[in-house]
Structures are given as C-alpha cells and as structure tokens.
Structure 1
Amino acid sequence: MKLTIVGCSGSFPGPASPASCYLLTAHDGVRPWRVLLDLGSGALGSVQRYMDLEDIDAIFLSHLHPDHCMDLCGLHVAVRWSPYGWHRGPIPVWGPAATADRLATAYGLDLDPGMREEFDFINWQEREPVSVGPFKVTPYSVNHPTPEAYALRVEVTEYDGTGMDRTSVLTYSGDTDSCQGLEDAAQDADFFLCEAAFEEGRDDHIKDVHLTGKRAGAAAARANVKRLLLTHIPVWTDTNKVVAEAREVYSGDVAGAVAGVHYTI
C-alpha cells in the first residue's frame, strides 16, 4: 500500500499544506485502487496532482469538522457539473450518520436529495469493517468533541502467488485525545498516522480534543506500532517540538508529516 500525504495541516490549511487528506493506493492483482482518508479544506486541488478525480474509488471520513470533510462540496461540483460528464457512478463515502445532511446544508442544498446523486453515503458502524477493492477499513470511536469521531484501521493483503501473503496495516487517528479506541485501532500497526495538534505545557488546560506529541508517542508505544508519523499539526504548533515529545516515550521511527511525501507500507 502506498500513502501520499495530500494535506496535513491541522484545523485549517496552512501556507505549505491543505487540511487533512491522505491518498492510499493498492493493487488487487487486476488494477490499482485509490481511496481517500478525509477530504479537508483546500485538499481537492492538491488531490488532482496525484490522480484524476474519476479514479477515486471511495472516501472514508473520520469525522465532520470542516478541516476533514468540507472539500466534498467542491467534489460535488466536479461530479455534477463537468461539461464533459462524469463517467463513473456516485462516489462511495463512508462517514458519520449526519454526513449527507451536513454537506447539503454547507452547500445550501435541500436535504433531499442533497448530494446523494453524486455520492453514495454509507454510515459507519462502530468496529464493523467495510471492504473496497483490496482495502478493509474498520472504524473505532475516539475522543473528540463531535457526535461521531473515528480512528480508521486500514488493512491490505498482498497475494504473491507463493502462499506467503502479507497484510499491511495503517492506522489513521483522525482527531482525538488519548483513549482506548485509538490504541485498539493502532494495535500492532505497521504505520501509525497520528495527529499531534497540541504541545505539552502550552495546551494542558484543554482536555478531550487533541493529542500532544508525547501522548501520541505513548499511544504508539502501548499499541506496539512499527512506525509513527505525526500529522494534523497547525501553523502555530512546532513540528520539531511534537516529534521530540514523541521520542521521549516511543522508541520506534517517528517523523512529522509533510504534504507531497509518499510512503510505502
């Protein structure tokens, strides 16, 4: 599985990156499949650097704050109004139960049909996996101030024809403070894409919203993940500081996300 950091700026787009959006690509032996984890503010333009919009196979939303979902409004325009037509069916979108109505309201549409002609909205069910091509995605409820917020565990099994099949696991935290759901989602993951919006000492008075680098590192250590990439870092948070915090408590490889960088998992 290949991960492309489309956008990694926390809470709103920054000068060097859109808000949260991550492209995953994997091959099922027949063709490549491409899915997006979140499509936050400013991300739709950058997505087009890496793929044609008609090649989006599915979108998985962690929650409904604008920095994680609002560019679906722009994608709705691309699907509905392209003068050349849209040559695939509605794009499957997994998300919280309020997704369809939230996006219709954001764009000023009637709730019925809203954007249901452009997107096939499917509601997450806690810890019930869904499959799209080679991807299996399981949502885990996490600790963030919105009615539904999820970490997403993504599994891809590669078949090499010799019986030595290998399953790769990427866990994406979404937005969360420390909680058991996050650690369950990340257990033994090969790659942990984890938010670290807060800094130790600066944001200690804010509870149940975001992780610090240290809390992200502690979750990675307890979950026994192989690699940690810190993301969702706002313009006022120092990436070097949160990475240093994580290294205090996590002995594996750790770095900060940068838009445009690719990883093989």
Structure 2
Amino acid sequence: MNLTVIGCSGSFPGPLSPASCYLVTAYDGERTWRILLDLGNGALGTAQRYMDLEDIDAIFLSHLHPDHCMDLCGLHVAVRWNPDGWPKGRIPVWGPADTALRMATAYGLDPDPGMTEEFEFHHWADRESVKLGPFAITPYPVRHPVDEAYAMRIEATEPGSGGPVTRVLTYSGDTDACDALVEAARGSDMFLCEAAFHEGRDDAIEGVHLTGKRAGATATEASVRRLLLTHLPPWNDSVRTVEEARESYTGDLAVAVAGVSYII
C-alpha cells in the first residue's frame, strides 16, 4: 500500500499545499486500485499530477467541511462535461448522510438529481467496513463540530512472496482526542493524524482539533508503528508541532508534505 499526500494544509489551502486529500493505492494481484481520502479545496488540480481522474476507484470523505470535500464540485464538472464523454461509470463516494445534498447545494443544483448522475453516493455506518478491491475501509465517529465526522481505518491486503500481506493505515480526519480514534488507530502501520492546534495557544478550544502532543499521546496509546502529522494550518510552526508530539510519542515521526509518497 502506498500513500501520496495530495494536500495536507489545515482548514484552507496554503502556499505550499492544497487542503486535505490523500491518494492511497494497493495492488490486488491483477491491477492497482486508487482511492482518495477526502477531496478538499485546491486538491483536484494537484491530484492530476499523480493520476488520471478516470482512474479514481472511489472517494472516502471524513466529513463535510469544505477543506475536506469541496473539490467534489470540480470533479462533478470533469465527469459531466468531458467533451469526449466520461469513459467510466459513476464514481463511488462514501461520506456522511448529507453528502449528496451538500454537494448539490454548493453547486446550486436541484437536489434531484443533484450530482447523483456522476457519483454513486453511499452513507457511512459506524464501524461498518466497506470492501473495495484489496481495501477494507472502516469508519469510526470522532469529535469535531459537525453532524458526522469520521476517522478511517484502511486495511489493504496485497500478494506477498510468502502469501497475502495486510497493512493498516489510519486517517484521523478532523478530531479532538477520543476513545474511538484510539480504537481506529490500534496497531496501525501508519497513523496519518491531524495536529492543527498548538499547546498553550489553543487550550481554550475543546472538541475541534488535536495538538501535536495529543496526537502523539493517541499514537502511543494505540501502539502505532509510524506517526505522520497532518492538517497543519499555514500559520502553524511544524517544528513546534513535532516537538509537542515528541513529548508523548517516541516512535517514527514526521510531518506530512504535499507531493511526498510513503510505502506502508
């Protein structure tokens, strides 16, 4: 399984990165499957550096804040108005229950049909896994000020020399510390975890985002192998975020950078 950071800027696109979007690929023995975790504002253009849009097998949305979903509107245009015709069927999209309505409203469409001719919308169900090619994606409800916000546990089973091998990536989405996030991340090979707040500066804000220290504490409690901090807003100091995480996590640690790929 490979992870490519399309966008990792927190809350809005920054000068060096679009908002949240991650390309995850895995091989099932016959072909490579490609899924996107979130599709925040600014991400659609950058994603085309790494894949053709028609090669998207599915999109999985953590929640419906614009920095995690709004470029679905641009993808709708790419599918609907391609002058050569869209070469594949509807793109599957998993997300909160209001995803189809929110996207139609954002683009000024009548909800019926909205974007349902371009996307096949599915609703998350708490801890109910979605099976797609070599992937199993399981949502866990987390703490963020929207009706539905989810972390995702992504398990990919690929052929190996000694038989099938399963690797685990957990993506926090946006969340403050909670038991469900620890459950989602338990034993992960990589924990892609938001750290949008700083200790001291943001202590009065509850139930919105993690700090580096709280992300590290979650990673330690969940016994993850690698921690990749993400969703840092442009005004944050990444060095300070890493220093905070080091107070509570001693394992392999880095900050996500747009354009970098990781083997999991």
CA offset digits 1:72-110 (Å, max 9, x no partner): 000000000010110100000000000000000000000
Distance in 2 (alpha carbons) for counterparts of 1:193 and 1:30: 27
Correspondence for 2:188: 189
SS of the residue 2:182 aligns to:
helix
Match in the other structure for 1:216: 215
2:256 corresponds to? 257
Q: Which amino acid aligns with 1:234?
A: P
Secondary structure of 1:184's partner?
helix
Counterparts of 1:1-265 in structure 2, within 5 Å, are: 1-160=1-160, 162-163=162-163, 165-265=164-264
SS at match of 1:74: helix
Using the TM superposition, give the Cα deviation of residue 171 of structure 1 relative to its aligned residue in structure 2, in angstroms: 0.1
Rounded to whole Å, the distance in 1 between the matches of 2:111 and 2:11 is: 26
3-state SS of 2:25 partner: strand
SS at match of 1:249: coil
Aligned residue identity for 1:2: N
The TM-score with structure 1 as length reference comes to: 0.99
Cα distance in 1 between the residues matched to 2:9 and 2:96 = 22
Normalising by structure 2, what TM-score? 0.99
Structure 1 residue 166, shift from structure 2 partner: 1.9
CA shift at 1:159, angstroms?
2.3
CA distance in 1, matches of 2:251, 2:147: 33
Report the aligned-residue RMSD: 0.7
CA shift digits 1:153-190 (9 cap, x unpaired)? 00011222633x32100000000000011000000000
After TM superposition, the runs of 4+ consecutive aligned structure 1 residues lying more than 3 A away are none
Distance 1:241 1:161 in 2: 42
Q: Name stretches of at least 5 consecutive residues in structure 1 with no aligned partner.
A: none
- Where 1:54 maps in the other structure, the secondary structure is helix
Aligned residues: 264
Which one-letter code corresponds to 1:232 in the other structure?
H
**Matched position secondary structure for 1:193:** strand
**Aligned partner of residue 247 in structure 2, secondary structure:** helix
Partners of 2:160 and 2:18 in 1: how far apart? 36
Identity %: 70
> Deviation of residue 232 (structure 1)?
0.3
Amino acid at match of 1:19: A
Shift, 1:58, TM fit: 0.2
Deviations 1:43-85 (A, max 9, x none): 0000000000000000000000000000000000000001011
Distance 1:55 1:188 in 2: 30
- The secondary structure found in structure 2 opposite 1:68 is helix
